[in-house]
């Protein structure tokens, strides 16, 4: 975190400090006392005491400028410092769950998570229950009680996501030396329900592609089509940057994936055609940009719902499907075309085998051929442009 000295703090000077923008690194502003910091986040400017004393690290948010005056926050800061210096401070840290959420967790999520809003939503029940509690006082029993209270009407997979969010919160607390052990460790992960074997049928695929070219939101629709034609995860496709492509869009190099490893995905001619169509909507940084500057598009939930309705009306197949089914559809068709399960694993970027990266490098030509045949198979012998709605004559 960068530190900038702005001289003696005043009410006006602190109120004029710029708030943090999404994706930016935090800046800590120093006043006359370097132990007292102003650290703007996305919504407010907290005043923080951060100091070392007798070999211990102390960190406390005493309040923020939106709810308190600088005079009051200065008094709180020196009260806290006085307790430490006079050895009246009993615990290592008195930062609350709410304070740590706003000062550390949410800025971290905005910078590092593709779905930061989803992560924040999964933390909401935990914060609602323990927002005013000290992070250092949260125990395994608190987390288990929370999950038990959330179990009614929720799938086990959803509960597992709530647990994962709490665990990440506590892992960040360890990194900031607020706690020493993650209370989520040892809690049994809820069992996920059996996976439904669902993929788009031969009749649904062309209807899906037709719906893409008829949709009112071409950015979201083309993003879904590229997912279908590559088998890549939605999060990876949504966040594609133009710099990730090799010359002529032959290969897409994804620097980070769910497995934590980079992915090099050879693009079939069909996938390249989709990329070139999407370029018309690019902001010069992201292939699928958001309306918010310097961000990639949000989840295409409404778009997939519109496309699903079109497919159901066109084919009569009413079975529900969501965006991840596109990845399964690609995998199913590639297995049908190649008969090579290991090749499918490579294409999907799975990290189940230790030799995956070596195998993908040696088999790049075969992988490209497989991706090409898969795309052609899903088009059913038609050109991609044949699905576009043609202007009526006259």
The arithmetic mean of pLDDT across residues 205-226, rounded, is: 96
Is the predicted pLDDT of residue 116 greater than 50, yes or no?
A: yes
Expressed in percent and rounded to 5, the helix, strand and coil fractions of the chain are 50, 10, 40
Q: What is the structure's pLDDT at 90?
A: 46
Give the predicted TM-score (pTM) of the model: 0.55
Closest CA to 164 of 123, 114, 128: 123
Integer Cα distance of 347 and 361 in angstroms: 11
Q: What's residue 356's pLDDT?
A: 29
The predicted pLDDT at position 53 comes to 83
User: How large is the average pLDDT for residues 298-302?
Assistant: 92
Distance CA 85, CA 67 (A): 27
Q: Does the pLDDT at position 359 exceed 50? A: no
Looking at domain 204-387, does it have CATH number 1.10.3720.10?
no
Residue 279: its pLDDT value, please? 96
* Buried residues in 199-220 as b, exposed as e (16+ CB within 10 A): bbeeebbbbbbbbbbebeebbb
Q: For residue range 128-146, list pLDDT tens digits in order.
A: 999 888 898 899 999 999 9
How sure is the predictor about 208, in pLDDT bands with cuts at 50, 70 and 90?
very high
Q: 10 Å Cβ neighbour count for 45?
A: 20
Strands (E), the chain: 2-5, 27-30, 36-38, 46-53, 56-64, 251-254, 263-266
Does domain 2-90 bear CATH number 3.30.2010?
no
Give dist(CA 103, CA 169) in Å, integer: 12
Taking residues 19-47, report their average pLDDT. 88
Q: In this predicted structure, which of 4-8, 162-166, 221-225, 336-340 has the lowest mean pLDDT? A: 336-340
pLDDT at 289 exceeding the cut of 90: yes
State the chain's mean pLDDT as an integer. 85
Q: What percent of the chain has pLDDT over 90?
A: 40
Neighbours of 89 (CB within 10 A): 18
More confident residue, 359 or 198: 198
Burial class from Cβ neighbours inside 10 Å (0-12, 13-18, 19+) for residue 303 reads buried
Residue-wise pLDDT for 83-111, tens only, equals 888 765 444 466 889 889 988 899 888 88
2-90 and 204-387: identical CATH topology: no
> Cα separation of 308 and 18, whole Å?
43
Q: Domain limits of the chain?
A: 2-90, 98-175, 204-387
User: What are the C-alpha distances in Å from 254 to residues 203, 228, 259, 366?
Assistant: 31, 17, 12, 20
Reduced to 3 states (helix: H, G, I; strand: E, B; else coil), residue 308 is helix
Determine the pLDDT at residue 358. 31
* pLDDT on residue 331: 83
Q: Give the pLDDT of residue 62.
A: 87
């Amino acid at each position: 975190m960068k530190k900038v000295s702005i001289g003696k703090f005043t009410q006006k000077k602190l109120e004029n400090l710029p708030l943090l923008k999404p994706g930016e690194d935090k800046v800590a502003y120093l006043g006359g006392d370097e132990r007292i910091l102003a650290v703007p986040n996305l919504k407010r400017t907290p005043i923080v005491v951060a100091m070392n004393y007798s070999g211990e690290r102390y960190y406390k948010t005493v309040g923020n400028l939106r709810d308190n005056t600088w005079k009051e926050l200065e008094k709180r800061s020196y009260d806290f410092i006085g307790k430490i210096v006079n050895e009246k401070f009993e615990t290592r840290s008195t930062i609350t769950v709410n304070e740590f959420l706003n000062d550390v967790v949410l800025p971290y999520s905005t910078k590092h998570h593709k779905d930061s809003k989803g992560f924040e939503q999964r933390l909401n029940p935990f914060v609602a229950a323990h927002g005013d509690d000290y992070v250092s006082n949260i125990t395994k029993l608190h987390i288990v009680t929370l999950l038990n209270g959330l179990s009614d009407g929720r799938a086990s997979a959803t509960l597992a996501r709530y647990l994962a969010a709490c665990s990440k919160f506590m892992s960040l607390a360890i990194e900031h030396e607020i706690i020493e052990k993650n209370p989520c460790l040892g809690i049994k992960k809820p069992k996920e329900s059996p996976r439904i074997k669902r993929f788009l049928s031969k009749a649904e695929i062309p209807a899906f592609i037709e719906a893409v070219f008829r949709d009112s939101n071409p950015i979201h629709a083309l993003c879904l089509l590229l997912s279908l034609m590559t088998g890549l995860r939605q999060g990876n496709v949504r966040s594609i940057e133009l710099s990730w492509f090799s010359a002529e869009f032959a290969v897409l190099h994804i620097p980070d994936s769910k497995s934590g490893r980079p992915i090099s995905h050879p693009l079939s001619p069909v996938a390249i055609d989709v990329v070139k169509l999407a370029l018309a909507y690019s902001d010069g940084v992201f292939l699928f940009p958001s309306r918010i500057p310097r961000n990639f598009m949000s989840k295409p939930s409404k778009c997939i719902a519109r496309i699903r309705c079109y497919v159901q009306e066109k084919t009569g197949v009413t079975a529900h499907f969501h965006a991840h089914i596109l990845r399964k559809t690609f995998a199913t068709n590639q297995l049908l075309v190649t008969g090579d399960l290991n090749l499918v694993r490579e294409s999907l970027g799975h990290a189940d085998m230790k030799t995956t990266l070596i195998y993908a490098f040696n088999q790049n030509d075969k992988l490209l051929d497989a991706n090409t045949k898969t795309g052609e198979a899903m088009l059913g012998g038609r050109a991609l442009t044949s699905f576009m709605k043609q202007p009526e004559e006259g």
